[in-house]
Structure 1
Amino acid sequence: MEEQIGKGTWIDKVADILIKREKKLGRSLDLIRVESGLGASGIPHIGSMGDAVRAYGIALALQNFGFKSELVAYSDDMDGLRKIPHGLPDWLQEHIARPVSSIPDPFGSCHASYGAHMSSLLLDGLDKAGIKYRFQSGREAYKQGLLVNQIDTILKSSAKLGQKIAEFVGQDKYIEVLPYFPVCHNCGRLYTAVAQKYLPDEKKVTYVCSGSRIGKADVKGCGHRGEADIAKGEGKLAWKVEFGARWAAFDIRFEAYGKDIMDSVRVNDWVADEILGYAHPLHVKYEMFLDKSGKKISKSAGNVLTPQMWLRYGTPESILLLLFKRITGTRHVGLDDVPVLMKEYDDLEDIYFGRVKVDNPAKLVKDRGLYEYINKLQPPKQPGPHVSYQLIAQQAAIFPSGEEDRYDKIFNRLVTYNIAKDKTDAIMQKIRLASNWADDNMAREEKFDIKLSDAQRKAIIDLIEAIKPFAGMQSTPDNAKELQSKVFDVARNNGMEPKEFFTLLYRMFLNADRGPRIGNYFLDLGIDRAISVLQRYL
């Protein structure tokens, strides 16, 4: 049997490898920093959040092992704007190639810059999920000279570096130019100013703003010749060397990366090890998040799924479950996963509190560990109310959005069904979230993956006929009782155990094995609507 490490999850395994590696390297273990880079050039999506959340998971595991650890959330807000993300204003075209921290906020004047607004969206998602981090602005790191020693060393070694980058990734431009982008003093653009010579005594880079090809477009330079001071944030390192500089400057011991920047990480590892004399951090490579059609979720493509969009419908715990479940393999993710993850979290909680038996000891340990990480190693003392999200959403669809006491009315329905008792914050939060889901998504009725046998199909046809006469009837105790007995009759007449038939109905309507009394539920839902759901499976 495999030895259990920590809480038995992939997070513990990575943290354990990290500790063993650091001990072998002989580095101080007084404070172990992990890092996540925040892209500030477009709307942050679920993948961007995944990078930070998973790094935080490693920090938590290190703390569980008895080490002090922190997550550094580094914003790449000195990056230049390469293209206008989908849905943003056309006037940004005039700011192409300028650092995103120097571009006005396209959403109004709520933030100091474009970069600050984009960073804030991701930080807001992390805050709402209870992720602790130390924020580091890239612009401020350059302006305050926090990277100056690393920049100096890299630029002094530029000839060796240029050859190595060409050897590693076949890109030979850094044989001719320095791996540093000055910001042109005249036009304020970043990538158009070509760094020509480094003056180590003055810590300055000479440049000419001669233009550049960015993506598929040529961006003209203004022709200005000047000098950029590396100690004052008048430029930034190229990506092929910047990670290495960051890792050495901030003493970073772990950073995960997506496979799309694999080549950059390979070069940066070499830069850290060989040029800067700093053993590169431990890495975990993860696959990208794709949308349901299989396209990469990206800022420019306009198929962004943001943390804010998810949190309109799901709890922070549901988003952490999505991100902590595993790190390997491609993930197809969309908003229709929210109800599924809400249920999965409840199932995980049932396992944690022993309400559901798990025969596989390794799975039990792993599930319990996953639950504890989702709750930042401070799990609740008792489970929350497990009311079907699907059921709440269906109830919410019955009451118009904006109706006074809507949430109370939904709660009262749950009480009638004997599913809820106390009006807790947790259950009211779930009602609010599922109501948002109903308002935005219930127009397209859901159909769950259920294949009916011939016997079940006949029973459903009989049930439709049996409940038709109840259309328009009030949901009174007598009507509900009579309808309930009709369902029993249909089951028996078709040679089915009533319990088995009820379970089938709950799966068809709620994607669950249990639910409210069918008599009350069908009358509340409306017989016509209940019939239309049943007919979809025929």
Structure 2
Amino acid sequence: MSSEPAAIAPSELLEAARVSKAWPFEEARKLVARLEKEGRERTVLFETGYGPSGLPHIGTFGEVARTTMVRRAFECLMPGVPTRLLCFSDDMDGMRKIPDNVPDRSFLEPYLHMPLTSVPDPFGGEFESFGHHNNAMLRRFLDTFGFDYEFASATDYYKSGRLDPILKRVAERYDAIMAIMLPTLGPERRATYSPFLPISPRTGRVLYVPIKKVNAEDATITFDDEDGEETTLPVTGGHVKLQWKPDFGARWAALNVDFEMFGKDHGPNMGVYDAICKALDGRPPEHFVYELFLDENGEKISKSKGNGLTIDEWLTYAPTESLALYMFQRPRQAKKLYFDVIPRAVDEYYQHLAAYQRQDTKERLGNPVWHIHGGNPPAIELPVSFALLLNLVSASNAHDKDVLWGFISRHAPDVTPQSHPELDRLVGYAIRYFDDFVKPTKVFRAPDEVEAEALRGLSEKLGTLPADAGSTDIQNAMLDVAREIERYQDHTKKSPEGGPGVSVAFFQMIYQVLIGQERGPRFGSFVALYGIENTRKLIARALAGEDLSKS
């Protein structure tokens, strides 16, 4: 186990933070400028929004994780200035459609257009409502991951009166807000639009109806209810809610939000949110617009569709830190979010962690692990990569950790589950991931004559090496075999002796024939871990036409 990296001196940290090109620091410096312009120090409020119309997905987690990264960067730049992170749930929204991933869709049909916190819980009735259930699912994960946040429910804010002052101001500035909104709407929508959505006192539904009168003096609205009866309600106390665009701007003004990020789908409306906030005497927060996550088919992931990965699904096969890394990387670039991305994210996390100990302060602040761990990443030595573990499971058909540890301990006698608990954790993840995703897709093929001759040559060459040969010696031996075979000579590359290099087709063949996959990590490293004798037996079985999918 490596020693913990030395702590960075505060003065050195501040100097590096002021020039770091890591995106959280770039966003944090905007907040520093915001406070310096005000000329005063105060609590800085970070906010994230969540629509609990369905179960929270990884995109929801990503928004909180990324906002936390900006918050930590800001605290590094302005130590001592208090900050808060408010996770705001828009749970008073009407349920406009029934999600696909609930147990019984017909159960929810009578509750269409009712506030989510008035819709019964379809998941066994443990919670007060559907909204409460989805809020609990979000909080459960945020708590598990250890985020420092405050949770806020729109229903609570509306009904408790915390939003009453801003709702009265919306009534007072009604014409100004309509002037902002109407140009953004089509002719039909424009004819019936109002920033206020009354909640029917008769049916409990959120109503999209024309507002006949807005009385700013007594803060009421008048409209025709669903049965046609003219009704007057106060805009305060949870009797109405705001349409989603005015709700954004009004909340920013009411709570004095300093920073909020949102997905690209909100980007075109950002100017509308800002204009409404200003019309209500607020100052719009600093923004960060991130790209959307896509499923394996390139479609936007959706809570109601249930496509893409859930938080629990990712964490079944990989540690939370790998998920945080995926959130940190290229936030302004659209990325596919499905099971195939997990192994690479796992290995990249540990590569960054290993690099951190060798880096200077400036490099460390650009390293994702600084942001993932709030400036205090652990020192973890990982002698075997996740990709190698997956190949080891594949070749050995291991179904329990003891089998894999037998190979690992033979290769590295000083490495045990007790000395390397992080590796032990990855062994368990590798077995689960292989069983669920790799094994069902494995396709072995028989070698042709050239390939069979290459494999026989490889086995003979490996037989000349000592049993404890290192991965580099094994890799060089494999290259020596391939260079003698015309099919695998790559004349665009040069060998150390000046002859042709080796084509990747050689290694692709090995993986296809011996492992049943198209590609994998450095094969010499795999052989060193699996064992030379075991690899030769694997080659012999392939040449004999045996079914390598079975142990």
Q: Same fold (TM over 0.5)?
A: yes
Report the Cα offset of residue 234 of structure 1: 2.1
Q: CA deviation at 1:154?
A: 0.8
Shift of 1:489: 7.2
Distance 1:191 1:527 in 2: 72
Candidates 61, 64, 74, aligned match of 1:49: 61
Note if contact 1:45-1:305 (Cα within 8 Å) is conserved in structure 2.
yes
Decide whether the 8 Å contact of 1:248 with 1:278 is kept in 2.
yes
Residues 330, 491 of structure 1: alpha-carbon distance in 2 compared, 3 angstrom cutoff: closer
Q: Is the 8 A contact 2:48 2:86 kept in 1?
A: yes
Q: CA 1:90–1:530 in 2, change beyond 3 Å: closer, same or farther?
A: farther
Query: Residues 265, 304 of structure 1: CA spacing in aligned structure 2 closer, same or farther, 3 A cutoff?
Result: same
* Residues 51, 90 of structure 2: 8 Å contact kept: yes
Deviation at 1:78, TM superposition (A): 0.6
Change (3 A) 1:515 1:163: same
The counterpart of 2:28, out of the listed 6, 12, 15, is: 15
Q: 1:350 to 1:529 in 2, by over 3 A?
A: farther
- Answer yes or no: is 1:271 the counterpart of 2:309: no
Partner Cα separation in structure 1 for residue 414 and residue 228 of structure 2: 71
Structure 2 counterpart SS, 1:85? coil
Counterparts of residues 16-415 of structure 1 (less than 5 Å)? 16-24=29-37, 26=38, 28-65=40-77, 66=79, 67-88=81-102, 89-91=104-106, 92-170=108-186, 173=189, 176-192=192-208, 194-209=210-225, 221-223=226-228, 225-273=230-278, 275-354=279-358, 364-365=363-364, 367-368=366-367, 370-380=368-378, 382-396=379-393, 406-415=400-409
Which position in structure 2 is the counterpart of 1:472?
none
Match of 2:416 among 417, 422, 434: 422
- Count of matched residue positions in the alignment of Structure 1 and Structure 2: 494
Is the Cα contact below 8 Å between 2:101 and 2:305 reproduced in 1?
no
Q: Could you tell me which runs of 5 or more consecutive residues in structure 1 were left unpaired when the two chains were aligned.
A: 210-220, 448-456, 470-477
Contact 1:385–1:420 under 8 Å retained in 2: no
Give the direction of change, closer, same or farther, for the CA distance of 1:86–1:176 in structure 2 (3 Å limit): closer
Structure 2 residue matching 1:464: 3-state secondary structure? helix
User: What is the match of residue 432 of structure 1?
Assistant: 428
Contact 1:39 1:119 survives alignment (8 Å): no
**What is the identity, as a one-letter code, of the residue corresponding to 1:137?**
S
Cα distance change of structure 1 residues 331 and 533 upon mapping to structure 2, 3 Å threshold = farther
- The CA distance in 2 between the partners of 1:530 and 1:171, in whole Å, is 73
CA apart distance, 1:50: 1.7
The 2-side partners of 1:520 and 1:445 are apart by: 27
Q: CA deviation at 1:207?
A: 2.8
Whole-angstrom distance in 2 between the partners of 1:140 and 1:170: 33
**Matches of 2:247 and 2:407, distance apart in 1:** 57
Q: 1:155, 1:178 within 8 Å by CA — same for their partners in 2?
A: no
Residue in 1 that maps onto 2:7: none
* Cα 1:93/1:519, change in 2 over 3 Å: same
Contact 1:353-1:383 within 8 A present in 2 as well: no
Residue 111 of structure 1 and its aligned partner are, at CA, apart by 2.1
Specify the alignment match of 1:515 in structure 2.
526
The one-letter code matched in structure 2 to 1:417 is H
Q: Which amino acid aligns with 1:519?
A: I
Query: How many angstroms does 1:104 deviate by?
Result: 1.1
Would the alpha carbon gap of residues 250 and 530 (structure 1) be closer, same or farther in structure 2, given more than 3 Å must change?
farther
Deviation of 1:97 after TM superposition, in Å, equals: 0.8
Q: Which runs of 5+ in 2 are unaligned?
A: 1-14, 485-494
2: CA distance, partners of 1:334 / 1:420:
36
What's the offset of the Cα at 1:176? 4.7
8 Å CA contact retained: 1:252, 1:281:
yes
Which runs of structure 2 are paired with 1:437-448 in the superposition (5 Å)? Answer: 437-445=433-441
- Matches of 2:19 and 2:83 in 1, distance apart? 16
In 2, distance between residues paired with 1:438 and 1:90? 34
2:455 to 455, 464, 474: 464
Q: CA deviation at 1:138?
A: 0.9
CA positional deviation for 1:262 = 2.5
SS across alignment from 1:441:
helix
Q: Give the CA deviation at 1:463.
A: 4.2
Could you tell me how far 1:251 is from its partner in structure 2?
A: 1.7
Q: Give the deviation of 1:291 after TM superposition.
A: 1.6
Task: Give 1:15's aligned amino acid.
Answer: A
Contact conserved, 1:41 with 1:115, CA < 8 A, in 2?
yes
CA contact (8 A) 1:240 1:267 kept: yes
Q: Give how far 1:395 is off.
A: 4.0
Q: Deviations over 1:287-321 (max 9, x none)?
A: 21112221111123341321111111111111111
Please tell me the residue identity of whatever aligns with 2:277.
A
SS at match of 1:252: coil
Work out whether residues 259 and 287 of structure 1, in 8 Å CA contact, stay in contact via their aligned partners in 2. yes
Amino acid at match of 2:105: D
Retained in 1: the 8 A contact 2:16–2:365? no
Query: 1:515 aligns to what SS in structure 2?
Result: helix
Separation of aligned partners in 1, 2:114 and 2:46: 29
Counterparts of 2:346 and 2:468, CA distance in 1: 31
- Report the CA distance shift for 1:491/1:108 in structure 2 as closer, same or farther (over 3 A): same
Per-residue CA shift, 1:437-472, capped at 9, x if unaligned? Answer: 11211224469xxxxxxxxx9985434346899xxx
Aligned to 2:223, what secondary structure does the other structure show? strand
SS in 2 for 1:255: strand
Paired residue type of 1:284: F
Q: Secondary structure at the match of 1:283?
A: strand
1:87 Cα deviation after fit: 2.8
Q: Is the 8 A contact 1:165 1:172 kept in 2?
A: no
Distance 2:415 2:536 in 1: 21
Provide the C-alpha distance between the structure 1 equivalents of 2:93 and 2:390, rounded to a whole number of angstroms.
42
Map Cα deviations across residues 488-507 of structure 1 (whole Å, 9 max, x no partner). Answer: 87754544789x98997599
Q: Deviations over 1:118-170 (max 9, x none)?
A: 22333333333332211001111111111111111112222222122122455
Distance change in 2, residues 1:172/1:410 (3 Å): same
Residue aligning to 1:452: none
Q: Identify the residue that residue 11 of structure 2 maps to in structure 1.
A: none
1:99-118 Cα offsets, whole Å, 9 max, x none, are 11111112112322111222
Q: Which one is further off, 430-439 or 171-180?
A: 171-180
Report if the CA contact (8 A) 2:482-2:502 is conserved.
Answer: no
C-alpha root-mean-square deviation of aligned residues, in Å? 3.9
% same residue: 25
Checking the alignment, whether the CA contact within 8 Å between 1:45 and 1:306 is kept in structure 2 is yes
Amino acid at match of 1:102: S
How far 1:185 sits from its partner (Å)? 1.5
Residue type of the alignment partner of 2:43: L
2:492 match: none
